[in-house]
Amino acid sequence: MLDIKDFSFLENQNSFDFKGFLLKTLSYWKWFVLGVTLCLFVAHQVNIRKQKIYELETTIAVKEQDNPLFTSNTSLVFNWGGASDQVQSISTTLKSRSHNELVVDKLDFYIDYLEEKEYFTEDVYGYTPFVVKLQKDKNQLYQVPFKVKFLTTSTYQITADFNNLEVPVINYITNQVNTQKVASTHYEQTFKLGQNINIPFLNATLEFRSIPDTYVGKEYIVQFNSFDNTVSKYRNVRVAIDEKAASILKLSMDGTNKKRIVDYLNATVNMLIKRQLDAKNLFADNTVKFIDTTLTLMEKNLKDANNELKNFNRNKDFIEIEKGGEGIQSEIKELDVLNDEINRKVNYYNTLRNYLLSSNDYSKLPAPAVAGIDDPNIVMNVSNIIDLSVQRSEMAYSVKSKVMFEDVDNKISALKRVLLENIATAKNAIQFDSRLVRTKINKAESKISTLPQDKQEYFQIMRKYDLSSTIYETYLQKRSEALIVKAANLSDIQFIDPAKDIGGGLIGPKTSVNYVMAIFVGLFIPLLVVFIIFFINNSIQNTDDIAKQTNIPIIGIVGTKKSEGNLAVFEKPKSALSESFRAIRSSLQFLYKKQQQQGGRTLMLTSSVSGEGKTFCSMNIATVFAMSDKKTVVIGLDMRKPKLFDDFGVNNNFGVVNYLIGQKKLSEIVQKTQVPNLDVITSGPIPPNPSELIMSEAMKDLMEELKQTYDYIILDTPPVGLVTDAVELSQYSDVTLYITRQNFTKKEMIHVLNTRVQRGELNNVSIVLNGYENKARYGAGYGYGYGYGYGAYANGYHEEDKQENLITSTIKKFKNRFNKK
């Protein structure tokens, strides 16, 4: 009946053997070295095959700049806005399609300059001795690379290969892609320096930036790309607003070519400055255009008045006519000028009102000051609505959010309502002044009507002339002031740090990080494999594994043999392996002494399954007893798979089976071996009923007879985990050795042993750990048994086996297999 103690070994299976895992991990150090080496090699290959990535930046400030010529004496009043609401708008502009289209077109960045390197094609923009200047209104080869090779210092060759007889071409003015027929799939032609390239698929000129004598023989690749795709690529410029200073913007880009980055960052800021200054001058430009239109009309009126005056003065006494009425003329002149100013304001208000009600684009509104309007509310609101109109037009290229459009539209609508109210209020206020001036003019005109007809006619002509002249001079003055103010105007955007290549800027590939990652991966993968092996492998690794499964004592540890045959003790009696068997012999003698038995002493060796080294241990334990001048016999009782005869060099034609069936006597089945004092009894022919033979009385007689002749009787039995022969033979043994093998015997097989012992089927059992590799699996010093775990202190006591390298070991295994065949 099974006892609950039989399952006690399960209690320890859940605990993690950290020491065992650590030692097992260290035993696979070659895996870790190989893993790290391979990963470092891969990381090195990745690093040399990747182009270096650089990041450069430029810093700009957005600050309202006052015009030095804009004073209180200037009759034109402009509201330029401020920096407070410009930073976000500038950030959006820098990423807009319209802005980047201008920059890409200016720099011709849709042209790639490349050079073939060992592992990649490098962007060599700025490092070539030439630049390509395209005739943008003509066809250019589209997205098909062609090569430029310098033959001499004055000639170069262009070559191109096509997939078929039609090649794609692009016109960068219309941005249209078409196809062009070619005569051959391979094109090659030589050109001289300064010669225009005019072929169906290429119309350009190579302008040399330096003397190409150092580039003779070098080959460059040129490719024309999509304009729109290039613009989309450069819209990814990063714009960051400084947290500590809201008016500071940092622009940054990354790429493989630092010169390209520097040129683009500086060009985009310069383009931004120009566009911002143009937008800032838009109010003045609109005013100048309005004044120019008015001056044209006034010039015609003035010319007509002058001609009329000349015609009037013919055949008349001008001096006589001019006498009298001078005060009335001066008075009415002032009133006419004042009335014209009022009319111009009213006309501006009417025009502005109609424009607001009928148009959606307010970017072309002239300054209110051109009509003499100095109402700060109207001036400011007109300026703001112009700014919003310009902002909305730019958003159409860069912003896809309807919410942002609605926000700008709502602001424009609000300003329109405010402006319409301002216009209504201003017109009501100015109507009073208009009626007052008209009353004064009527009184002055009534005085003129009392004068002679000639003088009345003269005053009417002079009145037109003076009014036209005064208005013309006024507009000339305003135009001059507008141009002066515009010329002295400054952009609100200024460079703090232009982009510049001063070395550094490298952001990738991070070679050091790649190497660190390679080391980590190179260690992690073997560690993971060892971890999996450690938990999947359920075989016995060391004595601790055995101790956790059973309370049966361990009598000794046997290492791996290095000799040709299995008679390791006889072949190398001074080896550490031989000493381990001598240690087992000493322990067995102690056990026999405690039993105080008379006559021959028996020792049975068994195991869980075949292959754990029973026969090997039986032979060598028998050898150490025989070498101590004890008469010893080893009996091969594994009748199903006999092995004992082969290593001793005897035949297996007869043996135990012949004795048990009564064919032979004991003296006839005993064979001498090359080991003094050691005899062997082989199993003999394989019988059909080995278990029945072992259970027979003849077996008992054999054991009694052997005890009378020999000091030690070694029984080499079948595996107890497979057949019951060993259980039947245990009655004849004084001590039973249960052989286990490192990395072979499963831990659950110890449970079978526990069960056998608990039932009393096996007596006086001890365990031997066979095939133990002290250094190969668990590191030096982790083990038991004589000669193991002493390191350098054991030098001189044993004949140390030379470690075989991989090549020697492979050759040796091959020879052994060949000899067996």
pLDDT of residue 74: 47
Task: Grade residue 419 by pLDDT with cuts at 50, 70 and 90.
Answer: confident
Listed by start position, the domains of the chain span 282-488, 543-775+783-820
Task: Please check whether residue 691 is in contact with residue 666, taking contact to mean a CB–CB distance below 8 angstroms.
Answer: no
pLDDT of residue 104: 94
Q: Is the pLDDT of residue 186 over 90?
A: yes
Output the six-digit token pair for 446. Answer: 């009534």
Lowest mean pLDDT among 441-455, 468-482, 519-533, 700-714: 441-455
Predicted local distance difference test score (pLDDT) of residue 71: 43
pLDDT at 813: 57
Mean pLDDT of 807-820: 56
Please give the distance of CA 126 from its chain centroid, rounded to a whole number. Answer: 28
Identify the burial level of 458 via C-beta atoms within 10 angstroms of its C-beta, where 0-12 means exposed, 13-18 middle and 19 or more buried.
buried
What pLDDT is attached to residue 680? Answer: 92
**2 vs 754: CA distance, rounded Å:** 10
Mean pLDDT of 522-528: 89
As a whole number, the mean pLDDT across the chain is: 79
Contact predicate 721/607, CB 8 Å: yes
Average pLDDT over residues 177-193: 91
Q: Which whole number is the average pLDDT over 520-527?
A: 90
What average pLDDT does this structure show over 36-42? 91
pLDDT at 11: 43
Q: Is the pLDDT of residue 575 over 50?
A: yes
Q: How confident is the model at residue 161 (pLDDT cuts 50, 70, 90)?
A: very high
In this prediction, residue 320 has a pLDDT band, given cuts at 50, 70 and 90, of: very low
- Which of 116-120, 225-229, 307-311 has the highest average model confidence (pLDDT)? 225-229
In the predicted structure, residue 689 carries a pLDDT above the cut 60? yes
Q: CA triplet 694, 695, 701: central angle to 5 degrees?
A: 80
Residue 767 has pLDDT above 50, yes or no: yes
Is residue 448 very low, low, confident or very high in pLDDT (cuts 50, 70, 90)? low
- The answer on pLDDT for 309 being more than 70 is no
CA dist., res. 648 & res. 634, Å (int):
11
Confidence of residue 253 (pLDDT cuts 50, 70, 90): very high
Please compute the mean of the pLDDT values over residues 766-771 and round it to a whole number: 90
pLDDT band for position 197 (50/70/90)?
A: very high
**CA-to-CA dists, residue 59 to 62, 158, 274, 495, angstroms:** 10, 41, 17, 6
| pLDDT value at residue 149 | 92
Range with the poorest average pLDDT among 161-165, 423-427, 500-504, 750-754: 423-427
Q: What percent of the chain has pLDDT over 70?
A: 80
Instruction: Give the mean pLDDT of 372-381.
Output: 78
Segment 461-484 shows an average pLDDT of: 73
Q: Establish how many alpha carbons lie within 13 A of residue 493's alpha carbon, considering only the half-sphere containing its beta carbon.
A: 28
Structural contact between residues 694 and 701, judged by C-beta atoms closer than 8 angstroms? no
Q: Please give the full DSSP string across 78-125, using - where no structure is assigned.
A: -----STTTHHHHHHHHT-HHHHHHHHHHHTTTEEEEEE-SSSEEE-T
Tokens representing 59 are 């810093």
Local confidence band at 746 (pLDDT 50, 70, 90 cut-offs): confident
The pLDDT, as a whole number, for residue 784 is: 36
pLDDT at 763: 84
What pLDDT does 124 receive?
Answer: 93
Distance in angstroms (rounded) separating the CA atoms of residues 477 and 481: 6
Q: What is the topology classification, in CATH, of domain 543-775+783-820?
A: Rossmann fold (3.40.50)
pLDDT, tens digit (0-9, with 9 covering 90-100), for 99-124: 899 999 999 999 999 999 888 899 99
Residue 612 has pLDDT above 80, yes or no: yes
CA dist 531 and 529 (Å) reads: 5
Confidence band of 241 (pLDDT split at 50, 70, 90) = confident
Check residue 84 and give its pLDDT. 45
The contacts found for 100-105 with CB under 8 angstroms, 24 or more apart, are 100/231, 100/234, 100/235, 100/237, 100/268, 101/227, 101/231, 102/271, 102/275, 103/234, 103/264, 103/267, 103/268, 103/271, 104/227, 104/230, 104/231, 104/234, 105/227
Confidence tier at 36 by pLDDT (50, 70, 90): very high
pLDDT at 577 over 50: yes
pLDDT confidence of residue 169: 95
Give pLDDT, residue 415. 84
- Structure confidence at residue 803 (pLDDT): 53
Task: Give the pLDDT confidence score for residue 162 in this predicted structure.
Answer: 93
Please check the confidence at residue 797 and state whether its pLDDT lies above 60: no
